[in-house]
C-alpha cells in the first residue's frame, strides 16, 4: 500500500533520511484492516552513534543563532504543517487508526500550534538582572544541550512536536524515538522542520523498541530525557536518567476521576464523559475513566449516555463521518478485552459495548460499566481503551477522598452549576490538569502534565521552558574585592 506522505526511510539523521536494514525489522500495521503498510528497521548502534554525534555538533551552532532566527524556522514549519494538514492527517490515521475526523483537527494542527507558540517565544527567552547595591547578578538562560524525546503511540505527531518545539526554541537539539507501534509521523515532522530551514542535525528521528530508547537515555552525551509513556516505563527511564543526573520530563499514565454532581447539566456531563472516554477510542492519557455520578441522576445520566453512544459511527477511519475507529494494535485490543472480562467477573454491570466487532481490524465497541466499586481492577488500573467505569456517590467530601485515592494524578474533571463547589473541588483534586464543565482540552498556552505517579514536569505553555533550559548566575562586582588576608 502506498499513501501520499510515505516516509522514504526509517530514520532521519543529520538533515536526511537514513537506512540500515541490519536493524531489527518493525512491521507497521494499519489498525483498521490489520494490513502491513510499511517496515522500518530499529536503529543499529552505528546509527545511534551517528545521530548523537551530529546532534551534539549541531547544538553549538543552533544555540549560537538568535532566538528570532530559531523561532522563524519553527514558525515556518508550523505554517507548512498546516498547509499539509490533509496528507499528514491521512498518515496519522494510517499510523494510529484514529478517524480522519479527529486527526484532521487534533494532530498535525496541535503540533503546528506548538511550533508556532514556541517559535514565537524563542526570541523572548531571557535571563534577568538582579541589582545588589553597586554589584549585580545577571542570569543567562542557557540550553541543556542534547535532549532525547521518547514517544507513546496515541499522538505520534503531537508528541514529536510537543517535545521538539520547546527543546529547539531553547537552543537544544533533539533525538526523538517514536513508539515502535507508530513510527511514521515523526519522520514527517523532521522532514518539514528541515524543509523550513532547520540546520542538519538539530532534530533527528531514530526508530526502535525500548532498547534503543534505553541506549539513548544512558548515553553520557545526552543531557535531558522527555518520555511520554506508561508509569512502568517511566520508572525505568527515570531510574536510568538518574544515573547520569539528567534532566527529565515524565508524561505518564492516569486513571483520572470525573465527578458529576446532581446539579450538573446532564447533556454537558455526558459530552464530557464521551470526550473523556471514547475520543481516540479511549487511548488518551488524561481520560476521565472513573466517572463518579451522583446517585440522584445516575440512571438519567446512563440513559442519555447509552442513547448518545448509539450515534457513534464506527468504521473506516478514512471516511469523514466515522467518529470511532479501531484500537491501535491487536495487542492493545486484547489488553482491553481482558479488562472487560475482569469487569464482568468482578460484578460490574455492563451497560453497553464490551465486544470486539466482527470485521477486519482491531475494533471494539464503546463500553460502559455501571455499579463499579472503588476496589475493582477496572476502577484502579489504567486500561487505555474505550472502557468507562461509572461509580455512584452522594457526598462531596466522600467523593473527593475516593477520587484522590489513586497512585495517579494526571487529570480530573468536575461537572456542576455551583461555582464555589467547582473551584473548591478543582483545588482539592490531586492532579496536574483539571477541568470544570469540560474535559480533555489541551491548548498549547496551558501547562500540561501530571502529579503523583503520573509525571514530572510540564509540557506546553511558558512552564515548559523551565524543563528545556537552565539558568546560569553571573555575579559582577563593581568595586574592589576584599579578602581576609
**Which member of 113, 116, 191, 251 binds ligand NAD (CB under 6 A)?**
251
CB 16 within 8 A of CB 202: no
92 contributes a contact to ligand NAD by CB under 6 A: no
The verdict on whether 163 is a catalytic residue reads yes
**Which member of 179, 207, 271, 277 binds ligand NAD (CB under 6 A)?**
179
400: left (phi over 0), alpha (psi -120 to 50) or beta: alpha
203-205 vs 349-352, strand pairing mode: unpaired
Q: Rounded to an integer, what distance in angstroms lies between the CA atom of residue 128 and that of residue 474?
A: 10
Q: Which of 435, 20, 90 is nearest to 260 (CA)?
A: 435
**Which member of 6, 24, 230, 306 binds ligand NAD (CB under 6 A)?**
230
Binding mask 432-471 for ligand NAD (x = CB under 6 A): ------------------x----x----------------
Distance between start and end Cα atoms, the chain: 80
Q: Rounded to an integer, what distance in angstroms lies between the CA atom of residue 452 and that of residue 438?
A: 23
Comparing CB distances to ligand NAD, the nearer of 15 and 31 is 31
410 contributes a contact to ligand NAD by CB under 6 A: yes
Q: Tell me the window of 11-19, 82-90, 172-180, 294-302 that interacts with ligand NAD (CB under 6 A).
A: 172-180
Q: Where are the alpha helices (DSSP H) in 346-395?
A: 377-380
Annotated active-site residue in 92, 180, 251, 382? 251
All 3 cell numbers of residue 401? Answer: 477522598
- Residue of this chain nearest to ligand NAD (CB atom): 213
Q: Which residue has the cell 525505568?
A: 236
**Which member of 236, 308, 356, 452 binds ligand NAD (CB under 6 A)?**
236
Angle, vertex CA 174, rays to CA 227 and CA 470, nearest 5:
80
Neighbours of 95 (CB within 10 A): 29
335 contributes a contact to ligand NAD by CB under 6 A: no
Binding mask 120-159 for ligand NAD (x = CB under 6 A): ------------------------------xxxxx-----
DSSP 24: P
Comparing CB distances to ligand NAD, the nearer of 254 and 317 is 254
Q: State the residues that interact with ligand NAD by CB under 6 A.
A: 150-154, 177, 179-180, 209-210, 213-214, 217, 228-230, 233, 236-237, 251-254, 285, 382, 384, 410, 450, 455
Catalytic residues: 163, 251, 285, 459
Amino acid at each position: 500500500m502506498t499513501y501520499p506522505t510515505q516516509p522514504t526511510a526509517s530514520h532521519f539523521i543529520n538533515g536526511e533520511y537514513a537506512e540500515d536494514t541490519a536493524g531489527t525489522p518493525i512491521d507497521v500495521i494499519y489498525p483498521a484492516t490489520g494490513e502491513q503498510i510499511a517496515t522500518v528497521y530499529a536503529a543499529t548502534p552505528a546509527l545511534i552513534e551517528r545521530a548523537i554525534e551530529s546532534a551534539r555538533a549541531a547544538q553549538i551552532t543552533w544555540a549560537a543563532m538568535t532566538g528570532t532566527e530559531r523561532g522563524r524556522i519553527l514558525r515556518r514549519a508550523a505554517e507548512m504543517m498546516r498547509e499539509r494538514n490533509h496528507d499528514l492527517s491521512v498518515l496519522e490515521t494510517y499510523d494510529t487508526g484514529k478517524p480522519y475526523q479527529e486527526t484532521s483537527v487534533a494532530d498535525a494542527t496541535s503540533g503546528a500550534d506548538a511550533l508556532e507558540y514556541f517559535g514565537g517565544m524563542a526570541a523572548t527567552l531571557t535571563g534577568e538582572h538582579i541589582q545588589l547595591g553597586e554589584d549585580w547578578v545577571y542570569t543567562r538562560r542557557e540550553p541543556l544541550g542534547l535532549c532525547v524525546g521518547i514517544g507513546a503511540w496515541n499522538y505520534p505527531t503531537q508528541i514529536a512536536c510537543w517535545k521538539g518545539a520547546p527543546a529547539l526554541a531553547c537552543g537544544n537539539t533533539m533525538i526523538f524515538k517514536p513508539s515502535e507501534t507508530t513510527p511514521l509521523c515523526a519522520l514527517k515532522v523532521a522532514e518539514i522542520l528541515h524543509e523550513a530551514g532547520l540546520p542538519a542535525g538539530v532534530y533527528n528521528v531514530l526508530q526502535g523498541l525500548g532498547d534503543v530508547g534505553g541506549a539513548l537515555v544512558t548515553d553520557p552525551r545526552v543531557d535531558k530525557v522527555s518520555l511520554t509513556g506508561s508509569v512502568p516505563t517511566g520508572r525505568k527511564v527515570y531510574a536510568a536518567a538518574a544515573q547520569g543526573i539528567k534532566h527529565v520530563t515524565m508524561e505518564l499514565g492516569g486513571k483520572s476521576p470525573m465527578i458529576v454532581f446532581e446539579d450538573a447539566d446532564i447533556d454537558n456531563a455526558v459530552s464530557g464523559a464521551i470526550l473523556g472516554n471514547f475520543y481516540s477510542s479511549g487511548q488518551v492519557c488524561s481520560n476521565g475513566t472513573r466517572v463518579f455520578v451522583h446517585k440522584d441522576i445516575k440512571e438519567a445520566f446512563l440513559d442519555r449516555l447509552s442513547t448518545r453512544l448509539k450515534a457513534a459511527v464506527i468504521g473506516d477511519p478514512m471516511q469523514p463521518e466515522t467518529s470511532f475507529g479501531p484500537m491501535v494494535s491487536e495487542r492493545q485490543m486484547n489488553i482491553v478485552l481482558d479488562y472487560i472480562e475482569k469487569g464482568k467477573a468482578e460484578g460490574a454491570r455492563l451497560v453497553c459495548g464490551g465486544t470486539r466487532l466482527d470485521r477486519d481490524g482491531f475494533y471494539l465497541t464503546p463500553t460502559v460499566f455501571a455499579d463499579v466499586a472503588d476496589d475493582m481492577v477496572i476502577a484502579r488500573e489504567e486500561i487505555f481503551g474505550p472502557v468507562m467505569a461509572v461509580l455512584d456517590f452522594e457526598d462531596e467530601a466522600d467523593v473527593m477522598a475516593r477520587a484522590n485515592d489513586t497512585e495517579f494524578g494526571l487529570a480530573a474533571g468536575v461537572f456542576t452549576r455551583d461555582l464555589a463547589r467547582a473551584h473548591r473541588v478543582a483545588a482539592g483534586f490531586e492532579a496536574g490538569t483539571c477541568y470544570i464543565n469540560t474535559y480533555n482540552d489541551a491548548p498549547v498556552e496551558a501547562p500540561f502534565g501530571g502529579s503523583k505517579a503520573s509525571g514530572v514536569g510540564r509540557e506546553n505553555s511558558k512552564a515548559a521552558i523551565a524543563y528545556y533550559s537552565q539558568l546560569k548566575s553571573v555575579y559582577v562586582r563593581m568595586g574592589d574585592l576584599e579578602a581576609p588576608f
